[in-house]
Amino acid sequence: MLIPFQFSQPMKLIYLFVLTLLIPIMGQGQQLSLLTGLDTTIKETSGLIYTNQRLITHNDSGGEAALYEIDINTGNTSRKVTISNATNVDWEDICFDSNYIYIGDIGNNSGTRTDLKVYKVSLSDYLTTTSNTVTAEVINYNYADQTSFTSSTVFTNFDAETLISFGDKLYIFTKNWGDSKTKIYSLSKTPGTYQISKIDSFDSQGLVTGGDYNSASNAILLTGYTFASPFIIEIKDFSATNFSGGTITRDVLQTPSGKSFQIESIAAININQYYLSAEESTTGSSGLYQLETSNPLEIDEFENGNTFMYPNPASNSISIETNYLSKTEIYDMRGVLRKSSSKKQINISDLSKGLYILKIKNTENNRVFIKKLIVN
């Protein structure tokens, strides 16, 4: 069994002291780049999103019911927005879609909570508030398979620190202290009270602490740690009812010297770049890191009798022919989203000449088709 971070304070200090002794002998993995340390206001950063050119975080249990925007150059907080009708019991992750921000008050270290919830905040309200205060709707839930609420710190499999928005639902990935696996539950985005059932699980080989869905690469990235090191997991070629059936890869992460490896959150920037944040611990000070994956998109032809794109090269417009079109996205080669449309004919006359990546999302089977587009 993996020995975790968040148990009683004396044991936590002993564990982290032992942990610092193990760090020099950890195996090699993907190296994280240090962007900046974080100021004391957000030293317990626990969730992270990147939207509208804003990097937004929050603190975990006992912190203010507030969101903070991070200056990626200095690590200082440039803005604070308070959720006026919320309480931070144990905020552990944050995600968003085109209209809302979702804040997961889902931490449950001892397995005793009966007040788990997600706060739903209008993204428009957040961006435009002049008082830096917003209100939230509330999504309450409990786990259908949890029958005991007796305190079981270090052993419960009903803790969670990962909340992901994918399609029309939220997905919770648990942080299983007992067996070091992760269970997956789906949750409605509509405010109300729900009893949710497990839809999937897989062996994460460690404690999952954060995650994000990258629409540019159609991949989920999860962060976490074991007794000896932090790690990252990528899930590709999955569906909303079968995450474990996708392609799952796992790798060790190497944190910058002197910085904490208690990584709590991850946010996609573009196709293959991510921000990660780590809270202050005895393994080091809090920090904001950057990870660059190799190239998560394999660029394949998709004219398979069901889906076509033409002309290519093109200069004014392109046409999409498919029976199950949900949305088409066009990215430049730096991974920046340049256009998004649900129409079958898309005007591209405002795009500069060059090479682009075109993604067509198929609603029939949740597949994403990738194509190179040349604009001339």
Q: Determine contact, residues 29/251, Cβ cutoff 8 Å.
A: yes
240 closest CA partner among 268, 274, 213: 213
Do strands 30-31 and 247-254 pair parallel, antiparallel, or not at all (unpaired)?
parallel
Residues 267 and 349 in one domain: no
- Reading phi first (left if > 0) and then psi (alpha if -120 to 50, else beta), residue 294 is in alpha
Domain boundary among 269, 292, 315: 292
Distances, alpha carbon 322 to alpha carbons 308, 343, 357, 362, in Å = 7, 11, 18, 8
Count Cβ atoms within 10 A of the Cβ of residue 301 and give its class: 0-12 exposed, 13-18 middle, 19 or more buried: exposed
333-347 tens-digit pLDDT = 666 788 988 888 999
Q: Within 10 Å of residue 147's Cβ, how many Cβ atoms? A: 6
Q: Which CATH number is 95's domain given?
A: 2.120.10
221 or 309, greater pLDDT: 221
Residues 99 and 218 in one domain: yes
Judge whether 346 lies within some domain: yes
Residues 346 and 274 in one domain: no
Residues 288 and 321 in one domain: no
Q: Cα–Cα distance between 160 and 280 in angstroms, integer?
A: 20
Residues 169 and 203 in one domain: yes
Domain boundary among 229, 259, 292: 292
Judge whether 298 lies within some domain: no
- Band of the pLDDT at 361, cuts 50, 70, 90? confident
Residues 334 and 247 in one domain: no
Q: Which CATH number is 334's domain given?
A: 2.60.40.10
Q: Cα–Cα distance between 337 and 301 in angstroms, integer?
A: 20
Residues 211 and 256 in one domain: yes
Domain boundary among 292, 318, 352: 292
What is the rounded average pLDDT of the residues 13-34? Answer: 53
Output the CA angle 332-367-217, nearest 5 degrees. Answer: 35
Percent of the chain with pLDDT over 90: 63
- Give the model's pLDDT for residue 6: 41
47-86 tens-digit pLDDT = 999 999 999 999 999 899 999 999 999 999 999 999 999 9
Residues 151 and 100 in one domain: yes
297-341 tens-digit pLDDT = 333 333 444 567 889 889 999 998 876 667 888 887 666 788 988
What total of structural domains would you count in the chain? 2
Residues 203 and 230 in one domain: yes
Judge whether 277 lies within some domain: yes
29-41 tens-digit pLDDT = 688 999 999 999 9
What is the rounded average pLDDT of the residues 218-230? Answer: 90
Judge whether 343 lies within some domain: yes
Residues 358 and 261 in one domain: no
- Give the model's pLDDT for residue 362: 66
93 or 7, greater pLDDT: 93
Judge whether 4 lies within some domain: no
Residues 62 and 146 in one domain: yes
Judge whether 242 lies within some domain: yes
Determine the structural domain holding residue 79 and report its residue range: 9-292
Residues 274 and 369 in one domain: no
DSSP secondary structure, 249-304, as one string: EEEEEEPPTTB---EEEEEE-SSSEEEEEE--BTTBB-EEEEEE-S---------S
- Band of the pLDDT at 363, cuts 50, 70, 90? low
Q: Determine contact, residues 307/319, Cβ cutoff 8 Å.
A: no
Q: Within 10 Å of residue 230's Cβ, how many Cβ atoms? A: 28
How many residues belong to the chain? 376
Percent of the chain with pLDDT over 70: 85
Judge whether 359 lies within some domain: yes
Out of 261-265, 282-286, 297-301, pick the least confident: 297-301
Choose from 161-165, 321-325, 351-355 the range with maximum mean pLDDT.
161-165
Judge whether 157 lies within some domain: yes
- Give the model's pLDDT for residue 320: 85
